[in-house]
């Protein structure tokens, strides 16, 4: 279980341009590129083990953004 402080999300009111620039900067720093495609078999296995099917759009998202570390958080779905 995560501590409450770790689960907090701080929302800043920024202009869309600044938000886009900040988002792209953080994604790029984490190793993201527009053509990034990673092996999502560990995610697929976690879903299969839970008896779930990954929708195609979500599969595409995980393939492009899965396993990126932004700050101290890794973008991999939590399967309970």
Domain assignment present for residue 80? The answer is: no
Percent of the chain past pLDDT 70, that is, above it, reads 65
How far is the first Cα of the chain from the last one, in angstroms, to the nearest whole number? 11
Domain that holds residue 68: 4-74
Q: How much is the pLDDT for 20?
A: 82
So what's the pLDDT on residue 61? 92
| Of residues 76 and 26, more confidently modeled | 26
- The whole-angstrom separation of Cα 54 and Cα 33 is 23
> Residue 42: its pLDDT value, please?
93
Res 7 pLDDT > 50? no
Number of domains in the chain: 1
Given a cut of 70, whether residue 47 has pLDDT beyond it is yes
Q: Regarding predicted confidence, which is higher, 16 or 69? A: 69
Q: Does a structural domain hold residue 79?
A: no
């Amino acid at each position: 279980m995560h501590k409450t402080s770790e689960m907090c999300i701080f929302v800043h009111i920024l202009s869309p341009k600044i938000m886009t620039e900040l988002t792209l900067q953080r994604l790029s720093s984490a190793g993201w590129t527009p053509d990034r495609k990673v092996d999502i078999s560990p995610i697929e296995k976690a879903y299969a083990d839970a008896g779930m099917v990954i929708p195609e759009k979500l599969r595409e998202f995980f393939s492009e953004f899965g396993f990126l570390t932004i700050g101290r958080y890794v973008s991999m779905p939590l399967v309970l």
